[in-house]
Amino acid sequence: RERASGHSASRDLARPVSASWAVCSMSVVWFHGLGDTGDGWEGAFDEVESQVEGVRFHHPDAPEAPVTIQEGDVTTSWFDLKTWPIDLSEPEDPAGLAESVKRVHEMLDNLDGNGTPANRIVLGGFSQGGTLSLFAGLTYPKKLAGIVAISGWLTCRKDFESKVHEANKDTPVLYCYGSADPVVDVSLTKRSGEILQSVLGSAVSVMPVRRGMHQPDGSEMMAASQFMIRSLKQ
The residues carrying an active-site annotation are 127, 181, 214
Residue 72: which of 91, 97, 40, 95 has the closest Cα? 95
CB 184 within 8 A of CB 209: no
CA 9 to centroid of chain Cα atoms? 18
Rounded Cα–Cα distance for residues 53 and 56 (Å) = 9
